[in-house]
Structure 1
Amino acid sequence: MKYKINKDVKLIVLTTLIIVLVLILFPIAFLKLDFNKFKPFNINDSVIKKSTELELPKNKKVKLYRKSENKVYELDLEEYITSVVSGEVPANFDEEALKAQAVAARTYYVNKINNPCKDAEKNGAEICDTTHCQVYMDKESRMKSWSKKEATDNWEKIKKAVDDTKGQILVYDGKVLEYPQFFAVSSGKTEDAKDVFSSDVPYLKSKESKGEEIAPKYKSSVEIKIKEFINKINSKYSKAKITEKNISSAIKVKSYTESGSVKELQLGDEVIKGKDFRTLFNLNSTNFKWNISNNSVKIDCTGYGHGVGMSQWGANVMAKEGKKYDEILKHYYNGVEIEEIKYK
């Protein structure tokens, strides 16, 4: 009986010891494991590094959705960027302006890896080929649009600008720019993002952009019959209640952006954003003024595009003045650095 008790006691002690060891040693061993191996895949973690290096697979292809064909194409990144630059800006732009456009376009695409275009994503792609994202023209189409005499030289000039900036992208505070915006022509100053997109983006501040009066679309006008003008406003905004009698007093600018564009507009009892008025009448910009006559309303615009980020014509003016592409980019995108994609 005595032996049995001793045996039971030993068994209890041994069991307790094993349990204690398991409770102590197992957590220690577990804590030494690399939890990164168990993290769910997140493209922000796998692509954008804290060192500002961007890592992509060696054979990474651009997944481009061509809207007119309703088809997805896979392209090499630099081939895609060459076609985008050829579609976005004139080939007679200065080489440094073409380089600046190449870096901005490459940055725009890389951001779409993290934030795909909705139309493209529905079709298994990352980015579309229209102004909704950035304009893409395949080599064959672009070459046909130029004269035979200029075509080859134009393409080689653009390709060289892309090759000279191969893999380069814009980063801010260690991350790829989420909004590497660009547009055609400014009115003399670019817009602050908070005035246009209602978001305060630190690298998209209003910047001086001189010399763009040479751009073909620097000035534009739209003339609309007064009845059509009134009907368009009242149909869209029920509180406006614009009439031919009150039109002169009922429409006025409520506020301006830092660059001098219309931020808010009073339409009778309705207050709308300048960009909404621009959309309603298909204007080239929100830097507009109007003149009302007996039979029509004439709206005069300065600039072309949303006005945020890099002005393409402004970049060309800077390039012709001797500025390098990195200087151009750092002028239009506040506080950015240029980094290079790493392929692994």
Structure 2
Amino acid sequence: MRRVFITAHLKNFLLLIIAFISFIVITSVLIVGVGDNKSLNKSKNSIIKQEEYKSLIKISSLPQISKIKVFISKENKIKEINLEEYITGVVAAEMPAEFEIDALKAQAVASRTYALAHVTELGGILCKNANGANLCDTVHCQVYVSKEERIKLWPKGLGEKYWDKIKTAVVGTQGEVLTYNNSLVMEPYYFATSSGKTENSEEVFSNNIPYLRSVESGGEERAPKFKSSKIFGYNELSQIINNNYSNAKVTSTNIKKQITIIDRTEAGSVKNIKIGSITMTGSKFRTMLGLNSSNFEIVFNLKSVEIDTTGYGHGVGMSQWGADAMAKEGKNYIQILNHYYLGTVISK
């Protein structure tokens, strides 16, 4: 009798163990799924092309920001502007309206991300030139103009058409921003024209930012400032250098031997340059002489010094003319942004 009782007890115990293991397995499947992502593909994003799907992830933790404070420099006052209205004014000021719609959309997302990166609620830092506003309306941040101002600058008869085109691009990306590792991208830099390749961030701004890597950027030779030159007399150039850096001690007679390019970036820009007794970055040399980019060659002629540059801007992030070239090839704005900002996704 005792043996029967023990056998029954063991049987019940084994049944309990089996039931517990089954519960664990079923619960695990419910939590992590079986790996076929069918539930994801049935969502409202299923109409999006496969290559775009991964780039449209909602980040619910981002608070809703509907307005932004902008310091209007001409009026010397702060205005609170609807965010999407502000982005329309930025795209109108920062990118030619003749560009392809997907290039304009890429600009809208980059500009919106840049704006929100200066909102303190999102961990951003206010512009130091904005007198307490989030941003200023100049090139120090990103240029903003009102509809009335911009239409005055466009060819007569095209203003409303251009504005509607830009507004379509902004509305088509409404609320979309760039994120990296589920966080808002804080450095969505962009510039006008590359030399055929963008720059690694640390070679221009010192900080190594994982999504700002050097990438190929073709089709920009048609840009009006792809190539440019500045000519200086020997006396003029030596005077500019000595006025900015008194320790350089260059002379007009020896300046040819006193200027040496030390190294270049992966994209070909001058990284460091030795001038007389000092060494400076290519970026500082560019600023000192008002060059279009840091990708330059120096030609010493008989009576003058010619500096030939390729590209226009700092070279980090998205090239605007490169974005238009990609759009002309049939690439959409998501593909453009993914190309220039590596590893980022577009979040609503």
Q: TM-score, normalised by structure 1?
A: 0.81
Q: Does 1:75 align with 2:81?
A: yes
Match of 2:157, SS? helix
Match of 1:144, SS? helix
**Distance in 2 between the 1:125 and 1:194 partners?**
28
Match of 1:305, SS? coil
**Distance in 2 between the 1:183 and 1:334 partners?**
16
1:227-246 alignment, distance < 5 Å:
227-246=235-254
The answer as to whether partners of 1:242 and 1:250 remain within 8 angstroms in 2 is: yes
The answer as to whether partners of 1:53 and 1:339 remain within 8 angstroms in 2 is: no
Distance 1:118 1:140, change over 3 A: same
The answer as to whether partners of 1:217 and 1:303 remain within 8 angstroms in 2 is: yes
- 2:347 corresponding residue in structure 1: 339
Distance 1:281 1:64, change over 3 A: same
**Distance in 1 between the 2:242 and 2:155 partners?**
47
Match of 1:153, SS? helix
Q: 1:170 aligns with which of 169, 173, 178?
A: 178
- 2:69 corresponding residue in structure 1: 63
Distance 1:181 1:54, change over 3 A: farther
- 1:217 corresponding residue in structure 2: 225
- 2:272 corresponding residue in structure 1: 264
Q: Does 1:302 align with 2:310?
A: yes
- 1:320 corresponding residue in structure 2: 328
Q: What amino acid is aligned across from residue 62 of structure 1 in structure 2?
A: I
- 1:84 corresponding residue in structure 2: 90
**Distance in 2 between the 1:234 and 1:272 partners?**
13
- 2:101 corresponding residue in structure 1: 95
The alpha-carbon deviation at position 51 of structure 1 amounts to: 7.5
**Distance in 1 between the 2:247 and 2:91 partners?**
44
- 1:131 corresponding residue in structure 2: 139
**Distance in 2 between the 1:335 and 1:132 partners?**
26
- 2:46 corresponding residue in structure 1: none
The alpha-carbon deviation at position 67 of structure 1 amounts to: 1.3
Q: Does 1:106 align with 2:112?
A: yes
How many residues align? The count is 288
1:224-264 Cα distance to aligned partner (Å, 9 max, x none) = 12101001112222332212332222111001000001000
Distance 1:224 1:128, change over 3 A: same
Q: Does 1:289 align with 2:288?
A: no
Provide structure 2 residue ranges, at least 5 long, that are not aligned to the other structure. 1-56
1:10-21 alignment, distance < 5 Å:
none
Provide structure 1 residue ranges, at least 5 long, that are not aligned to the other structure. 1-49
**Distance in 1 between the 2:80 and 2:217 partners?**
36
**Distance in 1 between the 2:310 and 2:191 partners?**
13
- 2:126 corresponding residue in structure 1: 116
**Distance in 1 between the 2:89 and 2:78 partners?**
16
Q: Does 1:201 align with 2:206?
A: no
1:35-74 alignment, distance < 5 Å:
52-57=59-64, 60-74=66-80
Match of 1:300, SS? strand
> Sequence identity, in percent?
50
Match of 1:314, SS? helix
- 1:254 corresponding residue in structure 2: 262
1:106-128 Cα distance to aligned partner (Å, 9 max, x none) = 000000102110111xx231101
The alpha-carbon deviation at position 57 of structure 1 amounts to: 4.4
The answer as to whether partners of 1:51 and 1:174 remain within 8 angstroms in 2 is: no
Q: What amino acid is aligned across from residue 336 of structure 1 in structure 2?
A: T
Deviates more, 1:145-154 or 1:75-84: 145-154
**Distance in 1 between the 2:132 and 2:87 partners?**
20
**Distance in 1 between the 2:107 and 2:90 partners?**
9
The alpha-carbon deviation at position 139 of structure 1 amounts to: 0.3
**Distance in 2 between the 1:136 and 1:175 partners?**
25
**Distance in 2 between the 1:92 and 1:323 partners?**
17
Deviates more, 1:234-243 or 1:283-292: 234-243
**Distance in 1 between the 2:58 and 2:299 partners?**
54
Aligned-residue CA RMSD in angstroms?
1.4
Distance 1:225 1:53, change over 3 A: farther
Match of 2:235, SS? helix
The answer as to whether partners of 2:58 and 2:347 remain within 8 angstroms in 1 is: no
The alpha-carbon deviation at position 103 of structure 1 amounts to: 0.1
The answer as to whether partners of 2:126 and 2:132 remain within 8 angstroms in 1 is: no
**Distance in 2 between the 1:250 and 1:147 partners?**
48
